[in-house]
Amino acid sequence: MKTQHDDAMQEDPERHKADKWDFASILEKLRDTECSLLLERFLDSNTLLHVAASLGHDLIVEAILSKQEPEVLLAAKNSGGDLPLHVAVNAGHLPIVQQLLKSSSQCQEFLTAKNSSGDLPLHVAVNAGHLPIVQQLLKSSDQCQELLTAKNSSGDLPLHIAVNAGHLPIVQQLLKSSSCSCKLLKEENKEGITPLHRALIKKCRSYEYIYTEMADFLIETVRKAEDGELMEFVDGFDILDTVLESLPNDILTVKDDKGMTPLTYAASIGYLRGVERLLRKTTMPCVYGEDTRYYPIHIATWKGHINVVEKFLDEYPDMIELNTGAGQNILHVAAMNGKAKMVAYMLKRHDLKVEMLINNKDRNGNTPLHLAAMRRHPMVVSMLTWDKRVDLTALNKEGKRALDIALNCNGRNPSFRQRLTWEALRYVSGPRAPPGRVSGENLQWSKVGMTLRTDEYKDRTGTLLLVATLVATVTFAAAFTMPGGYKESGGMAKFLEKPMFHVFVISNSIAMYSAITAVVTLIWAHLGDLNLLIAAYNFSVPFLGLAITMVSLAFMAGNYLVLRDHNWLAYLVLSIGSFFLFTLSIIFFPLCLPNSSPYPIIRYILRYPFHLLIKFSGCDADDFDEWCDTDDSEEDSEEE
């Protein structure tokens, strides 16, 4: 391809010859320049050699290095602590790197020189992804292992950097050049992360698109190196495979400062391919670390990675029996953490070992149902209560059943999530604990909760009474202000024969009598008895909901009547009203559902709108932080 330089040479060959002569004369002047002048500093304290090395001007670099004592120029550092060798390596100019290494008797010192970040030239080359330069630096060093084990200010080896950046050929080269690759793989940085941990954290699959785009380049690079071993690595292997090739089995039990093993990291991020390959490399004792708080299968369950849990159970079915430090199995962990899909997966596994988990108790005597109720996960509670194998009457060490736990939460200014949890247990008529099994503290809480609930229901009934009175007033007024008015003779309504007028009258009448019924019922609620108060509240809410819905329908019908001559406007009002009536029904319908029913068919029908309400309210979402904080605080209190 022609360049502007070629065009200029064709247009004016004499001028090009003169430019070439000028450049040659500049090189001669550089050779004659005193060394002290070449040490003059430019931007960022760079010398002329720094600038030439970064721009790839090998002829200028050669002219500068022709001095009798080039070591002074080679040892000059810029403001970042970089030697000219660092700059050339970062820019990827292999010929200049070779020139710099050949021009000094202190080559080994320059190879181990660190910049302000503690990076050797090898660190810089690995980070930039320059494989030929990495090979050149390793080839030029008399102490290759010293370069491979050198750490920068972050404690990272060159292998850490290569794995983090996803440079597969460089990872292969570093492991191949090391005389002790196992030791290299065990080295931790300041964060306590080994190269293997880093490979799993970055989830090598994140770089698959890079492998796809660079596949031809990688193969070409390996062919130029004429190394059959590297060709095998390129075909079908990624960074994790390369690391595991040089990995002894016992390294999989090595933990970082957080107590995490490579398998734990893979399980926590849901990296199925990594889990599969690590399981092929390990044995049961390596998986079952005796001093770990959570096993990898518990971490995968906690994070909701069903495919990883399934892989664990397929490879080692006995892992289903593992318990955490708190004596909790994987179903406990899933239920406590609100993992509804994981719970559903476990309940569908109809084998004997799963049967043992369903009603198994932890150290505090809590079953998975207890923990789901305690953590306020209504969807999980509903799924467990609908499984016939779940024992609704199970008691924990405090003498509580699941409904007792839900009611304790419900008595202290409960959230909507807590109410739904309580409702999920009431739908299946979940029993409470016998009075004799409840501790004195729980009885005290029951008394406090009863007082709180009485005050709470009084406030609610007062609000409902006000709303019901307003609805009754509005509907009473609407009955005597008919849309369209009255006829002059006889006092009959003008729209008496219109079907929509019939809708208006019927809806308004239903709204009127429903509101009055709610008012009278709520008056009874103010007698002070808690049971009567709750009964009146539950009885009046459906009537008030019906009254509000009928008022909306009457309003829509009345508007349509007076606008019927304007078709587009009348139908627009009708459409808007219909939409909001449907929305109102969806929102209000769950409030009118009964708490429980003795008929299974009715409970089964009510289950679906209940699940819809859970999803609509967002109460099916999990909360990792809440689970961790609560769990940690409980364990701390147990230790104290």
In this prediction the pTM is 0.56
Decide: helix, strand or coil at residue 493. strand
Task: Please give the C-alpha separations between residue 30 and each of 38, 56, 586, in angstroms, as whole numbers.
Answer: 8, 17, 86
Torsion of CA 384, 385, 388, 393, to 10 degrees: 110
Q: What pLDDT is stored for residue 38 in this prediction? A: 65
In-domain check, residue 517: yes
User: Band of the pLDDT at 237, cuts 50, 70, 90?
Assistant: very low
Top pLDDT among 201 and 224 is at 201
In-domain check, residue 563: yes
Q: Which residues contact 33 (CB under 8 A, 6 or more apart)?
A: none
Q: What pLDDT is stored for residue 232 in this prediction? A: 44
DSSP string of 226-252? T-HHHHHHHTT--HHHHHHHT--GGGG
Q: What pLDDT is stored for residue 601 in this prediction? A: 72
pLDDT digits (tens, 9 = 90+) for 467-492: 999 999 998 888 888 877 777 666 67
Residue carrying the six token digits 């292969």: 172
Q: What pLDDT is stored for residue 263 in this prediction? A: 83
Q: Which residues contact 439 (CB under 8 A, 6 or more apart)?
A: 398, 399
**Average pLDDT in the 34-48 region?**
72
Q: Which residue pairs from 231-236 have beta carbons closer than 8 angstroms and sit at least 24 positions apart in sequence?
A: 233/168, 233/172, 234/168, 234/169
pLDDT digits (tens, 9 = 90+) for 175-208: 788 777 656 767 888 888 877 666 655 544 444 4
In-domain check, residue 559: yes
Q: Are 298 and 322 in contact (CB under 8 A)?
A: yes
| Residue 533, H or E segment | helix 530-562
pLDDT digits (tens, 9 = 90+) for 349-392: 877 677 888 999 999 999 999 999 998 898 899 889 888 888 88
Q: What pLDDT is stored for residue 207 in this prediction? A: 43
Q: What pLDDT is stored for residue 221 in this prediction? A: 36
In-domain check, residue 229: no
| pLDDT at residue 627 is higher than 50 | no
Q: What pLDDT is stored for residue 640 in this prediction? A: 34
**Closest C-alpha among 103, 121, 105 to residue 113:** 121
Counting the structural domains of the chain, the total is: 1
In-domain check, residue 325: no
In-domain check, residue 497: yes
Q: What pLDDT is stored for residue 219 in this prediction? A: 41
Q: Which structure tokens are listed for 99?
A: 């020139």
First-to-last CA distance in the chain? 78
User: Band of the pLDDT at 131, cuts 50, 70, 90?
Assistant: very high
In-domain check, residue 501: yes
Question: What's the rounded Cα separation, in Å, for the pair 292 and 309?
Answer: 18
| pLDDT at residue 580 is higher than 50 | yes
Range of 573's domain?
469-595
Phi–psi pair at 486, nearest 5 degrees: -120, 160
3-state percent helix, strand, coil for the chain, nearest multiple of 5: 70, 0, 30
**112 CB neighbour count, 10 Å cutoff:** 14
Q: Are 550 and 511 in contact (CB under 8 A)?
A: yes
Q: Is the dihedral of CA 478, 481, 483, 487 positive or negative?
A: positive
**Average pLDDT in the 392-400 region?**
87
Burial 385-394 (b: 16+ CB within 10 A, else e): beeeebebeb
Find the length of the chain. Answer: 640
**Average pLDDT in the 61-84 region?**
83
Q: What pLDDT is stored for residue 368 in this prediction? A: 94
In-domain check, residue 588: yes
Top pLDDT among 526 and 338 is at 338
Q: What pLDDT is stored for residue 68 in this prediction? A: 55
Top pLDDT among 280 and 435 is at 280
* pLDDT > 70 in the chain, percent: 68
Decide: helix, strand or coil at residue 486. strand
